[in-house]
Structure 1
Amino acid sequence: MRSGTQRSSLRRRVTRRAVAEQLLTVSGANRDVLRDAPKERTKQVAMGAVLLSTAAIAAVSASYALHLALHFWWPFAVLGGVAWGLVILNLDRWLVVSTPRLKTKLGTLAMALPRVLLAVLIGAVISTPLTLAVFSAEISTEVQVMAAEEEDAFNRQLDEDSRYAQIPAWEAQIQALQADIAQPVTDADVLDDPAVVDLQQRIDEAKTRYEAAAAAFQCENDGTCGTGDAGIGDVSREKQAERDRLQREWQDLQQQSEPAKAQVRQQLETEEIQKTADQEAQLADLQERSADASSDRRAEIAAHQAAVGDSDGILARLTALGRISDADPVLHAAHLLLFLFMTALECLPIIFKTMLALAPPSLYERLVSLEEEKVEQRMRLRLQTEYEEAETLARSALTAAEARAARTLKAESRATGMVLDAQLDVTRDGVRRWRDEQLGATSAGEVREATPSADDLESLYKNDRLGSEDPRDGRLAGSSAPA
């Protein structure tokens, strides 16, 4: 049991040490310096943990933003959030590591201020999606209210739009035209014709007059009116004649009715053909205008519905949060405090590093400074040594070159002397041969006066050799034949 407990404790210590080493890597600490200052190790591990925490918060914020704004599937949104968290971790690590400590606090603050401002900007960007996530319920309600308001405004705009206001009237006209075209000429149309109406009116009037005349004749014949004498008399005969005339007139008019109706029907059918053609052209024009306007209206409605469907993004939610914050002071205060808290949390590493830079240097910082000075001194010494070695090598090479040049000059001088000696011997032999030839051709006295002796030539050559050691000098003996 005790052995298992010891192994478990050992594993925990190993795990903690491995995690601490990773956090030291994140914080950018110098492990060589930490070996000399082990108490500073905890502070650097805490700095790495803070950097890792801010990166984790950034990853969560980015995942929510990608899912909310771009409607990414959660696994892809999480992958994008992790990538963004690594970017923020790298950036925060650079801000922390690159914040220097200058000789004056004012200089340190001036150097750290741009980094702090950049950290505040990053914190504001990261904290915004988290703030929206905290107030998501209130924001969703307000987004629905905003969508309803936009829908009402859109409908009012459609109703007031002159392009679509005539669509109902056009549709009513289309229905009326279609019904009129589908209905042929009927008896009612014939009876409603003015000529038929006039003829029918005349028939009715003739019938009325005939019935009145027939009643007057019957009354006179019965003796109930008129003269009061029953039977047929002169007055009865007159009324009978009047009745018969009106009857014939009524019958004539009735006989004219059917031909007139037939003629009117034929005329109406002819007019109906032309009217139908005109109505069909008018119907086609109305249908085209109504279809175009209706298509534009449907397209605008579809675009509006698509916009309303996509109105649940970050911008809409920020607008909704602003509206409910303006309407509710308590929520406004809560929103502001939460936003500032999130931003400060994201800016914590660089703010903490700036505070350390403004405070007196810690042991770790002093050791790092000494380590940097030692590295600088070693570098200076190495560069100085390399310079001196290079200078020594250059001097040695120069001395060797001078020695080689001296040896070469001595060897050349010796070779030149040997060449001159050889030339002198050749010249002596030539002079002797020439003298012998001259002695054989002339007298000995003349030859002695005209020819210089060998000793004179050797003396002349020696004087010339002292004046020039160049074997190519043209004044050497034997270079030209005597005249």
Structure 2
Amino acid sequence: MGATVFFTALMAWIAGSYALYTIFDNVYTAVFFGLIWGLLIFNLDRYIVGTMRKKDSKLNELVQATPRIILAIIIAIVISKPLELKIFQKEIDAVLQEERNAKLLTNKSQVTAYYQNDINQLTGAISMLKKEVSDKETEVNALYKTYIEEAEGVSGTKKLGKGPVYEEKRQKHDTALQELQLLKEQNSLKIADKEKEIQALNTQLQEQITTTNPVIENFDGLMARITALGKLPWIPVLFITLLFLTIETAPVIIKLLASKGEYDAKLADIEETQTGWLAQKAYQRKQQQETDRDLNDRIYEDLKTDEALYCVKKEKAAEIARLQATAFYEQQKSIL
């Protein structure tokens, strides 16, 4: 039984050290605090077994052992979980890698969506600026075609040569052509500015993805591993938990199944001796209190008939009465 308690504490030390190593990433810190955890489990197990007492009734023993069994089950689950993380480390790493990949894709989509609205607005504005130039070019080409056909006599007045109508249409075309050149220059500058804004947004987008990706890539803490463990097939994990449940509850079960032996008899004798001694002390205190009470009653009863004590108290009472009368007289006199 003692060996079982010791090896349970040893396994708790190992399990606690591994669990803390996943948190601190430092061997010495993990081993030190893991040792404290192992000693705590050792003390709890020792208390669980040491406080159990053999009874004449198995039902009373079972009632006494039930809270201890529940506590042992909780301890077993706490001890087994870090070791399960170590035993199924490769499988957990595979699950975490899948989750990291999914989180990276989700993060990229969310960050891209955050910047994409502004990029789309700028892209739309560039398209509008280019369309303005395109529409103006179409207008200029139409005016060019109009005055050429006027000169050739194909349309308009249908007179061959460069007459007044031709000059009017030519002037209108030249004016539109100048407007087109000016529009191209203005829109080129606007498009260049908006392309710079798009480039800056794309740079911020990549920086944001680069900044947030390491956080996701380091997604392998204790809570993440426990969650990933819950996604694995439950039967192998259950076997490990049952093993530690068996180890942890074994001392209590053995204590229940064992018959009353020499140790239990000696322990019962010591406890009965202690109980009798405490009862005797309590009885003596009670008797002493009753004796003191009776003596005090007799003493004060005798003092009621003591003449010397009566004279002393009478003299003191008379002195106090005289002082009160004098003080009252002086107070009345000062008022008048």
Q: Is TM > 0.5 for Structure 1 vs Structure 2? A: yes
Residue 93, structure 1, aligned to residue 46, structure 2: yes
Secondary structure class of the residue paired with 2:54: coil
What corresponds to 1:462 in structure 2? none
What does 1:327-476 align with in structure 2 at a 5 Å threshold?
A: 333-345=235-247, 347-348=248-249, 351-396=250-295, 408-409=306-307
Sort the Cα spacing of 1:191 and 1:388 in 2 relative to 1 into closer, same or farther, 3 A. closer
Residue 56, structure 1, aligned to residue 4, structure 2: no
Distance in 1 of aligned mates of 2:173 and 2:66: 105
What corresponds to 1:201 in structure 2? 149
What corresponds to 2:330 in structure 1? none
Distance in 2 of aligned mates of 1:389 and 1:103: 37
What corresponds to 2:98 in structure 1? 145
Q: Contact 2:13–2:38 (CA<8 Å) still a contact in 1? A: yes
> Offset of 1:259 from its aligned partner?
5.0
Distance in 1 of aligned mates of 2:225 and 2:78: 15
Distance in 2 of aligned mates of 1:180 and 1:75: 69
Residue 309, structure 1, aligned to residue 217, structure 2: yes
Secondary structure class of the residue paired with 2:241: helix
Q: Contact 2:15–2:80 (CA<8 Å) still a contact in 1? A: yes
Distance in 2 of aligned mates of 1:67 and 1:410: 87
Q: Contact 2:55–2:61 (CA<8 Å) still a contact in 1? A: yes
Distance in 1 of aligned mates of 2:175 and 2:138: 9
Sort the Cα spacing of 1:178 and 1:50 in 2 relative to 1 into closer, same or farther, 3 A. farther
Distance in 1 of aligned mates of 2:169 and 2:308: 161
What corresponds to 2:320 in structure 1? none
What does 1:201-220 align with in structure 2 at a 5 Å threshold?
A: 201-204=149-152
Distance in 1 of aligned mates of 2:142 and 2:7: 97
What corresponds to 1:66 in structure 2? 20
Secondary structure class of the residue paired with 1:103: coil
> Offset of 1:359 from its aligned partner?
2.7
Residue 263, structure 1, aligned to residue 162, structure 2: no
> How does the TM-score come out when normalised to structure 2?
0.67
**Pairwise CA RMSD of aligned residues?**
4.8
Distance in 2 of aligned mates of 1:267 and 1:51: 95
Which letter maps to 1:95?
A: I
Distance in 1 of aligned mates of 2:96 and 2:210: 19
Distance in 1 of aligned mates of 2:104 and 2:92: 18
Structure 1 residues 358-384: Cα deviation after superposition (integer angstroms, max 9, x where no partner): 432111111111111112222223333
Structure 1 residues 149-173: Cα deviation after superposition (integer angstroms, max 9, x where no partner): 44456667888x6x77766654544
Secondary structure class of the residue paired with 2:252: helix
What corresponds to 2:73 in structure 1? 120
Secondary structure class of the residue paired with 1:101: coil
Secondary structure class of the residue paired with 1:360: coil
Structure 1 residues 1-35: Cα deviation after superposition (integer angstroms, max 9, x where no partner): xxxxxxxxxxxxxxxxxxxxxxxxxxxxxxxxxxx
The answer to which structure, 1 or 2, has the higher relative contact order (CA under 8 A, 6+ apart) is 2
Distance in 1 of aligned mates of 2:37 and 2:74: 15
Rg larger for? 1
- Which consecutive residues of structure 1, in runs of 5 or more, have no partner in the other structure? 1-45, 207-244, 326-331, 414-483
Distance in 2 of aligned mates of 1:54 and 1:180: 79
What corresponds to 1:241 in structure 2? none
Q: How many pairs align?
A: 304
Q: Contact 1:61–1:126 (CA<8 Å) still a contact in 2? A: yes
What corresponds to 1:437 in structure 2? none
What does 1:28-43 align with in structure 2 at a 5 Å threshold?
A: none
> Offset of 1:254 from its aligned partner?
8.6
Secondary structure class of the residue paired with 1:311: coil
Which letter maps to 1:371?
A: I
What corresponds to 2:327 in structure 1? none
Residue 131, structure 1, aligned to residue 84, structure 2: yes
Q: Contact 1:203–1:250 (CA<8 Å) still a contact in 2? A: yes
What corresponds to 1:421 in structure 2? none
> Offset of 1:124 from its aligned partner?
0.6
Distance in 1 of aligned mates of 2:308 and 2:170: 160
Secondary structure class of the residue paired with 2:219: coil
Picking from 31, 36, 45, the partner of 1:78 is 31
Sort the Cα spacing of 1:302 and 1:93 in 2 relative to 1 into closer, same or farther, 3 A. farther
Which letter maps to 2:148?
A: Q
- Which consecutive residues of structure 2, in runs of 5 or more, have no partner in the other structure? 312-336
Structure 1 residues 353-411: Cα deviation after superposition (integer angstroms, max 9, x where no partner): 343244321111111111111122222233333444444455555555556655x3599
Distance in 1 of aligned mates of 2:19 and 2:29: 12
